[in-house]
Amino acid sequence: MAPTQEHTPRRRIPGWAPWFCWGGLIIGLVLVLVYVLAPPMDKPGARAEVRLQFAAGGNLPTRRTVLDIIDGNGSDAIELFKDGLLLDWLMFIPGYTLALAAVFGFATLFLYRRSSRLWARRALALTAVPLVVDCAENLFLRLGLDRLDSGPEWAFTWAAYCAQVKWTVVVPLIAAALWMGAILAFRWILRPGAEVHGPRPPHPRAVVRSAHRLADGSESWSDDPDVIAPPAAPEATTPLADWTAPYTPPAPNREEQPVPKDTAKARWHTRALQLPGREPAEVGICASGGGIRSASVVLGALQALRDAGVVRTARYLVSVSGGGFTAGAFQLALTPEQPKDRNGKPFVRADLATPEDVFAPGSPEEDHIRRHAKYLADSPREKLLAAGTVLRGMVVSLGMLALMFTVAGMYLHAFYSYLPLTDLDSLRRPGDQVPHLNLYAHVRNPVLALLALAGVVTLVASLVRAFSGQSRPAWVRSVIKAIVALALAVAAYTVIIPAVIWFFVWLSETQTLLPKGGRGVSLLAALTAAATWLGALYTAAHKSVKKLKPDGDAAGMFSKSNKSITVQSSTGWVKAIVCWLVLLLLGFFGLALLSWVAVYAGEWDWRWKVGLPVALLVLPFLIDQTTFSLHPFYRQRLAGAFAVRRAVLNDGSVGGLPYDYNAEPTHLSTHARKVDRFPQVIFAASAAVSLRNRTAPGRPAVPFTFASDYVGGPDTGWVRTSTMEATARPLIRRDITVQSAVAVSGAAFASAMGTQTMFFERLLALSNLRLGTWVPNPAYLAELATYGPDWTMPRLPRMRRLRYQLQELVGRYSDTSPMVLCTDGGHFDNLGLVEMLRLRCRTIYVIDSSGDTPPLATTLAQAVTLAYEDLGVVIEFPKDEVLKLVPGSAEPLRPTEAMAALNARFSASCVVTGTIRYPEPVLFAPGTPPSDEGTIVFAKANLTPDMSYELLSYALKEKAFPRQATFDQWFDHAQFDAYRALGHYLGTAAGKAGTSGQAGTSEAD
C-alpha cells in the first residue's frame, strides 16, 4: 500500500544540498566583502555609481548630468566608472546573488512549514530578477559612457529603467533574506529541549495516537496516549504531514484494514472520537452562553435540576460562556484541593459544601455571587481600575503601531535619500511655499512596460489555448502574476509612496487644521489615542434597545403597539460608523506619522536614529501581548466573583471563602477533576482557524474544550491536560487553569469571533480591548512529540509576542502553528449541544439563556444544523410543540387590557422535548441494549403565564427581560435574583419534562 495523499512521508533533504548552500553563501559573502572593503580597487564611490544609474531621471539634460557626475571624480573619471562596472560584473553582482540564493536555498530546505518553504522558493526564483536587470543596467551604462560625446541618450534611460526595477526588488529580497536567516539561526541555537513533557516520569517523549487511526480501529488506547493527533483535514487538497495520520506498513501476516464503506459512520467516529475515560452516558447537561445573564439563569436551573435528581445522575456538564461562570463556580466550590500556606499545609477547612447543597438558595456561595454580580467593576475604584487597564493596553498597542510606522518612515527616508526616486528636499520648503511633488522623470514607463508585457503574455497564452484546446499552463499564470507584482512594486516605490508623503506634507504645511511639523503630529497622536479609547469602549459596551413586531421585524422606538417585544442589542449602525471612523483615523495617523518621519528623519539626533529601530527589534520579543489585553483583567474579575468555596472563617462561623487569585492557581488537572455525585465539567471554547480545509463556509472557528483530562478538539487534536501544563512555559501556564478556562469560554468580544463575526474585530485587536488567549496547539504538540527535538521546528514560545497580535489584525490563523487563539465557545456553538453529542448521552438537558431575536429560537436551530453538518446527528422536534416557544403563543392573561404588554411576550411553554438520532447504536450504560436514539430536553429562557408573581412583576417593569444584551455585564441584585428565579423555573419544568420522557421511553422499551 503506497502512502496516500493524507499519509505523506516526512520530507527528506539531500545530503549535498546544505553544503552547496554553504559554499554559495561563503563565496558570495567573500566577493561582496572584497568588493566593498578592499581599498586598492579602482572604482568610484557608491553614491556616484547610484547617481549615474539614475542620471536620466533628473531635471537637467542627461548628458550634462552625467558630465557633472564624472567631473567630480577626477580627470580619468570615465575610465574609473568603466572599471567600476567591470568589477561590478565580476564580483559584486555574483557575490550578492550567490549570498541571497544561498540563504533562500537554506530556507527552502530547512523552514518547517510548507507555506514558508513556498515563499522561500519564490524568493529564490525572484533572485534572478536583480541579477538580470543589474547586468543589463551595467551594459547600458557602458554603452552610454562609450558614446558620451556623440551617442544617443537612450542607453542611460534604459539603465535608469533597470535601476528602478533592481532596487525595487533587491531591497525586499535583502530584508526577506535577513528575516529567514535569523529564523534559521535562532532555531539552530535554541534546538535543545524542544520536547513534549509527559506527566509520568520517566517519560522522555509523550505517546502519540492519531484520531484517524483510532477511528478506523487500527490503533487502541492501550498506551494511554498523552497526545492525540487530529485527522487529516476533510477538504485537504495538498499532502499533509505524516503526524496527522501516520502511515505504517501492515505486518506480513496481517490483512490491511479495509476502507469503511459507510463514510458517514467513519466521519462520526473521527469527529466524535471517544477519549480515554469519556464513556457514553445516560444524562448530560448543557449550559448555554450569555454572560452574567446566562450565569444567573444556569445557577437557578442547576438548583432545580439537582432537586429533580438530574444533576446527581448526569455524567457531563458542558458549559459555554456565561454558563461556564456558574459551572466553574460549582466545580471550584466542590474541589477537594484545599487552600495552603507558604509551606504547603492547609490552613483552613474549606470543603464544607457537598454536591447536594453547594450553591443552595441562601448559601454563602450564592450570596457571594449575588454581591459580585457587577463583577467587571462595581465601586468607583474598580471602575477606574478597569478604565486604566483598557488605557494601558491601548497605549501599548498603539505605541507599538506608532513605533512600526516611525521605523518605516526612517527606512523610506534612507531609501529616498540614497536613491533619487523622489526629492525629499523639495518637501521641506520654508515659509508658506507649497511643497512640490518631484517624481522621477521616467517613472511611468517601466510600470506601463511591465503591465504591457503581462498583457502580451496573457494574449499569447489565450491564443495558444484557443487553437490547441488546452488550458493555460501553470507557468504562464505564474509569469503573469510575477510581472504584475513587479509592476505594482515599482509603482509603489516610485509613484504611490512619494505621492502619499507629498499629500500629508502638503496637508500639514498649507492647511490650518493642525499645527505644523512635529507639534501637529503629536497633537494628532493624542487625538487618535483618545478617539480610539472612547470609540473602542463605546463599540464594546454600548447597548441599544429596539422594539420588534411579532414576526421579528423592527417596530420602531416610538411604536405604541402592545404586541411589540423589547430587546437589547449589542449591534447597530451607529456603532458600525463609530468603529470605521476610528479605524480610518488610525490609518490617517499612521500615514501622517510615516510621511513626517520620511521627510524630517535626517534632522534627528543619531541616538534616535539608532534607538528606535533597536527598540522595534527588541520590544516585540519582551512584551507578552496577551498580558496587555483585557484577558488577564477579565480572568481576575471573574475569579473574584465566582471562585469561592464554603469554609470555616476565623471567627468560627461558616461563610464563603474566595480563592486567593495570586497565590492559589486553579490548575485544570487538579481543580477540575470530576467530583462524586456531580458531573464532569467541560468548558467549551472555540479555536480560531481561517483555513477553509478545516472550517465550513462562514464558520472561521473550530471547537476547543478545556477539562481535567484532555484539552483540545477534533480539528486540533487533544493533549492530556497534565501534559500541556508540564509543557507550557510559566507565563502561558496561567491560562491552563479553571479560572482561565472560564474566562476563555466567555471571551465574547475578541479579535476573532467565529460564527458571530462582527464589524469591530480589527478595532478590538488594535486597541487591545480584546478577550481570549493563545494556548499551545495540540496539533503542534503532536508534531513535537513525534519528531522533537528537531532544530528546524518552530519553538513553543515563552510568551505571546507581537506576531500573534499581528495575526489577529490580519485575521490569519493556521491550524498547525505552535499556538492557537481560543475564544468564546459561542463563536462555534452557543449551546454546547454539539460537544455534548460527541460525548454520546441518551438524555441531554439544554438550558438556553442566549439572547435570541424573536420569534424563533435561532440558537437552537443553528445548533441542530451544526450537529448534522459536523457529526451527522439528526435532532427532531414536534413542530406543534417547538412553536410553543414563540412569544405571543400563550393564552392571554386577564384582564387582557392591563396585561397586553406581557401577553405579547408570553410563550405557551418554555420547555420542549425532541428526539436525537445518532449515526450508529450507542451503549449508553452497561447492561442496557445499544440504541441510536436519545432525548433532548430544551429549556428556553422565555416568559410563560404560569410564572411566579414576582417574575411577572419584574418583567412588566423591565421591558427587555429576559432579552437584555449579552454585553450588559453589570447586573444589580434585582437583575440577578430575577434571572436566577427564571432559571429555577426553567430547571423545574425541564426536570419534569425529562422525567416524563424517560418514563415514556422505559414503557416503550
- Per-residue confidence (pLDDT) for residue 489, from 0 to 100: 82
The set of residues, in sequence order, having a beta carbon less than 8 Å from that of 679 and lying 6+ positions away, is: 284, 285, 311, 314, 315, 316, 317
Crossing angle for the helix pair 497-510 and 573-600, to the nearest 10 degrees: 90
Q: What pLDDT does 676 receive?
A: 92
Is residue 619 pLDDT above 50, yes or no?
yes
Burial annotation 376-387 (CB, 10 A radius, 16+ → b, else e): bbbeeeeeeebe
Output the pLDDT for position 248. 41
Per-residue pLDDT for 249 more than 50? no
Q: What is the pLDDT of residue 550?
A: 55
Q: Assess if CATH 3.40.190 describes domain 16-189.
A: no
Q: Which of 204-208, 358-362, 716-720 has the lowest mean pLDDT?
A: 204-208
Q: Which of 46-60, 666-680, 741-755 has the lowest mean pLDDT?
A: 46-60
Does residue 962 register a pLDDT over 90? no
pLDDT of residue 3: 30
Asked whether residue 967 carries a pLDDT value surpassing 70, the answer given is no
**Cβ burial, residue 84 (10 Å; 0-12/13-18/19+):** buried
d(CA 157, CA 63): 11
Question: Is the dihedral angle over the CA atoms 121, 123, 127, 128 positive or is it negative?
Answer: positive
- Residue scoring higher pLDDT (720 or 857): 720
pLDDT score for 510? 64
Q: Please say if the pLDDT value at position 603 is more than 80.
A: yes
CB 268 within 8 A of CB 920: yes
Q: What is the pLDDT of residues 137-170, one digit of tens each?
A: 889 888 888 877 766 677 888 888 888 888 888 9
* Residue 433 CB neighbours (<10 A): 10
* DSSP one-letter code for 650: T
How far is the C-alpha of 1005 from the C-alpha of 924, rounded, in Å? 14
pLDDT at 1003 (0 to 100)? 46
User: Which pLDDT does position 303 carry in this prediction?
Assistant: 95
CA angle 611, 616, 618 (to 5 degrees): 90
With beta carbons less than 8 A apart as the criterion, state whether 227 and 206 touch: yes
| Residue 312 confidence (pLDDT) above 90 | yes
Q: If you average pLDDT over residues 272-278, what whole number do you get?
A: 89
Looking at residue 831, the DSSP 8-state letter turns out to be T
Which range of 268-277, 299-308, 761-770 scores highest in mean pLDDT? It is 299-308
The angle at the Cα of 717, spanning 712 to 718, to the nearest 5 degrees, equals 50
The pLDDT-based confidence of 243 (bands split at 50, 70, 90) is very low
How far apart, in whole angstroms, are the C-alpha atoms of residue 458 and residue 600? 44
Query: Could you give the CA distance from residue 63 to residue 68 in angstroms, rounded to a whole number?
Result: 9
d(CA 104, CA 504): 37
Cα 857 from chain centre: 29
* For the ranges 6-20, 341-355, 707-721, the one whose mean pLDDT is highest: 707-721
Q: Does 131 have pLDDT greater than 50?
A: yes
A 10 A CB-CB count for 147 gives 12
Q: Give the integer Cα–Cα distance in Å for 681 and 430.
A: 70
Quick one: three-class SS letters along 499-539?
HHHHHHHHHHHHCCCCCCHHHHHHHHHHHHHHHHHHHHHHH
Question: For 175, how many CA atoms within 13 A lie in the half-sphere containing its CB?
Answer: 7
For the chain, what are the domain ranges?
16-189, 205-246+261-271+323-356+646-829, 273-321+841-864+890-1005, 394-622
pLDDT at 190 over 50: yes
| Cα 732-733-736 angle, rounded to 5 deg | 110
Region 376-382: mean pLDDT is 77
* Predicted local confidence at residue 440, as pLDDT: 56
Residue 726 pLDDT greater than 60, yes or no: yes
Task: State the virtual CA torsion across 189, 190, 191, 197 in degrees, nearest 10.
Answer: 170
Task: Extract the C-alpha cell encoding 85.
Answer: 562596472
Is 618's pLDDT higher than 70? yes
Closest to 234 (Cα-Cα) out of 870, 754, 690: 870
Q: Which residue has the higher pLDDT, 719 or 243?
A: 719
pLDDT of residue 569: 58
Q: Return the higher-pLDDT residue of 844 and 753.
A: 844
The grid cell for 871 is: 457529526
Region of 166 on the Ramachandran plot (φ > 0 left; ψ -120 to 50 alpha; else beta): alpha
Q: Is the pLDDT of residue 201 over 60?
A: no
Average pLDDT of the segment spanning 214-223: 72
| DSSP for residue 255 | P
Nearest in space to 738 (alpha carbons), one of 295, 334, 339, 331: 331
Q: What is the mean pLDDT of residues 595-611?
A: 87
Convert the pLDDT of each residue in 18-40 to its tens digit: 888 999 999 999 998 888 887 65
Q: Would you state the pLDDT for residue 907?
A: 86
Residue at grid coordinates 455525585: 677
Of all residues in the chain, the percent with pLDDT exceeding 70 is: 78
Instruction: Work out the pLDDT band at 984, boundaries 50, 70, 90.
Output: very high
Q: Which of 911, 910, 932, 936 is nearest to 845 (CA)?
A: 936
Write down the pLDDT at residue 55.
Answer: 78
CA-closest candidate to residue 686, choices 622, 756, 628, 761: 756
- Identify whether the C-beta of residue 178 lies closer than 8 Å to the C-beta of residue 106: no
Report the alpha-carbon distance of residue 661 to residue 637 in Å, rounded: 10
Question: Which run of H or of E encompasses 615?
Answer: helix 606-622
Q: What is the pLDDT of residues 381-420, one digit of tens each?
A: 877 888 888 888 888 888 888 999 999 999 999 888 888 7
Question: Which pLDDT score, from 0 to 100, does residue 106 have?
Answer: 92
Residue 1002 has a pLDDT of 47
Q: Is the pLDDT of residue 549 over 70?
A: no
* More confident site: 763 or 670: 670
Q: What does the chain come to in residues?
A: 1005
Kindly indicate the confidence band of residue 916, based on its pLDDT and cuts at 50, 70 and 90.
very high
Start-to-end C-alpha separation, the chain: 47
Task: Please determine, for residue 97, whether its predicted confidence score (pLDDT) is greater than 90.
Answer: yes
Position 561 scores a pLDDT of 52
Q: Higher confidence at residue 798 or residue 913?
A: 913
pLDDT value at residue 330 = 95
- Please name the residue ranges forming H helices in 548-605: 573-600
Over 70: is that where the pLDDT of 545 sits? no
- Quote the pLDDT of residue 985: 93
pLDDT computed for residue 347 by the predictor = 67
Q: 480: closest CA among 452, 458, 448, 462?
A: 458
Closest CA to 913 of 866, 878, 874: 878
Confidence of residue 434 (pLDDT cuts 50, 70, 90): low
d(CA 214, CA 586): 50
- Residue 933 above 90 pLDDT? yes
Other beta carbons within 10 Å of 518:
12
In whole angstroms, give the CA distance from residue 428 to residue 731.
48
What is the C-alpha separation between 689 and 281, in angstroms, rounded?
31
Question: Do strands 281-287 and 316-320 pair parallel, antiparallel, or not at all (unpaired)?
Answer: parallel
Identify the residue with better confidence: 972 or 186: 186
Check whether 209 has a pLDDT greater than 90: no
Q: Is residue 426 pLDDT above 80, yes or no?
A: no
At residue 873, the pLDDT reads 93
Q: Is the dihedral of CA 480, 484, 487, 489 positive or negative?
A: negative
Q: How far apart are CA 631 and CA 405, in angstroms?
A: 27
* Coil/strand/helix, residue 569: strand
